[in-house]
Amino acid sequence: MLITLINQILVMFALMALGFLANKLRLLHEESISDLTQILLMIIGPALIIKALQRPSTSDSLHTLLIVGFGVFLLYVIEIVLAQLFFGKVKDRDSRRSAIFSSVYNNVGFIGIPLVTALFGLDGVFYAVISMVVYNIFCWTHGIALFHKEKQPLSDSLRSIILNPNVLAIILGLMLFLTSTSLPKIVVTSLTYLGNANTPLSMMVIGYTLADIRFSR
């Protein structure tokens, strides 16, 4: 298993190197990366969630979903409390909320899913997606609230949360899972293709971003 993990990490670094080179050779531009990030967050991420939840609902799988979901939920509550204790007194508002957000919300989908897939296959992805579900619930509620503008009506933020494709994918995916409803084969195949694009695109986006970082700073 250790060899498999190391190989997968090396593959991910290789994909990141491609993104790094794409930046240096000007094959991609900042606008392109912004668009790719939106595609990852708003299309590929939701497709991955729905596809992973496309499985029969049994007493064992439902029990596991509840245990894992509760465990991850509790973990995020603890992380939020600790982040508030460590960074809550930072004077600069932007620095404070950026520090809290970045310390609580890690790279669950971009990096986590490829590693879990390599180690545990589709069953592992199911459990990882449960973690993603809780992650998205916190990220698109608490995370959005951190950056909520005081002059912006709360109703606008709530609307953006409810209508977010990731939240909608969670609701739809859980409904399909709990009712053991199978989508048409053509839809499942399309979701599979989209989900498979998560690793290469996300790693290239990260590599491109790293190319702009001045490590001396």
| Domain ranges for the chain | 2-210
**Is pTM, for the whole model, over 0.85?**
no
- Whole-number Å distance between alpha carbons of 149 and 37: 23
Residue 198 is given by DSSP the state H
Distance CA 58, CA 27 (A): 48
pLDDT per residue as tens, the chain (217 positions): 778 788 888 988 999 999 999 999 999 888 889 999 899 888 998 898 898 888 888 888 888 888 989 999 999 999 999 999 999 888 888 888 889 998 998 877 667 777 787 777 767 777 888 888 888 788 878 888 888 766 656 566 667 667 778 888 888 988 999 898 999 999 999 999 998 888 889 889 989 999 988 777 6
Tokens representing 85 are 């204790």
Instruction: Please spell the DSSP secondary structure of 10-40, one letter per residue.
Output: HHHHHHHHHHHHHHHTTSS-HHHHHHHHHHI
pLDDT at residue number 216:
74
Rounded CA gap, 84 and 97, in Å? 9
Chain-centroid distance, C-alpha 197: 14
For residue 184, give the DSSP letter. P
188 exposure class (CB count in 10 Å sphere: 0-12, 13-18, 19+): middle
